[in-house]
Amino acid sequence: MAKRRMLSIDFCESDRFYMLSPVSRMLYVHFILNADDDGFVDKWRSIMRCARIEKKFYLPLVEYEYVIEINEGLILITHWHRHNTIRADRYVPTAYAKVLRGFSVDEEKRYIKASEDVLVTQCAPQSRLDKISIDKSSIEEKRIEEEKNKRITTNNHSYIHTQSASQNISNGIVDVYCTDKDNKSLCGSTLSAALKTAITLHFMKKYQTIDILGFIEYCESRNWIGDEGESIKENYKKYADIYMETAGK
């Protein structure tokens, strides 16, 4: 394994990276230093214990996709290839080659889950590929048709949600979100329909509540600017946490 690691200045000097706390940023650097040549870190808990860093500073790295948590003992640096390019004569393949096959690298040099097509090519016998290709085409057509049927129209606004979202949100949730207690429509607000849906899904997933009218008022009272000058529209997950912590006070 290479003994030197690089950090992209464009990445580490970005506004998005500075949204992390100083401790989380320091922990990220420790992960980079201890990663193998493919970006895997298999001793991240030991690193945190040695650096005396609490887990609460690790969680934002996972939530904002700076690292991908494979299991309790293994993580993968999402933007590894933005930071490091290792010469072929110094490169040592990861011990987690089987896990690595489940990921690909996109145009932004991020690790993402490999597409089904990639996994089929890697794992399926060649004699079965034609049949699998036909089956996948039929499945994709069926999925597209199902997505069309999940269009929800409320107050002349359309909302499209995915299969995972459909398990957490129903027509009634959109109705509640778009109408306050006095039946005054909030759909004419400055929020886009996409942002409204994203905020609603976030509250349902993390807090199991759809009573987010107070959060909207909280944001609008600040003209959509946070305490540190950042845009709440782009950082609504962070300010949802702040709002939920202070809502009852």
Q: Which positions ≥6 away from 213 have C-beta within 8 Å?
A: 180, 186
52, 85, 114 - which closes a domain:
114
Whether 134 is covered by a domain: the verdict is: no
pLDDT (tens digit per residue) in 198-220: 888 887 888 777 667 777 877 87
Residues 172 and 86 in one domain: no
Whether 67 is covered by a domain: the verdict is: yes
114, 131, 165 - which closes a domain:
114
pLDDT (tens digit per residue) in 76-117: 999 999 999 888 888 999 999 999 999 999 999 999 988 644
114, 137, 167 - which closes a domain:
114
Q: Please give the tally of structural domains in the chain.
A: 2
Whether 43 is covered by a domain: the verdict is: yes
Residues 50 and 100 in one domain: yes
Whether 176 is covered by a domain: the verdict is: yes
More confident of the two residues 247 and 238: 238
Residues 46 and 99 in one domain: yes
Whether 201 is covered by a domain: the verdict is: yes
Per-residue model confidence (pLDDT) at position 175 = 40
How far are the Cα atoms of 18, 50, 198, 235 from residue 229, in angstroms, in the given order? 12, 34, 22, 11
Residues 105 and 157 in one domain: no
Whether 139 is covered by a domain: the verdict is: no
Whether 128 is covered by a domain: the verdict is: no
* Domain boundaries, position 183: 151-246
CA 12 to chain centre: 18
Whether 93 is covered by a domain: the verdict is: yes
Residues 106 and 39 in one domain: yes
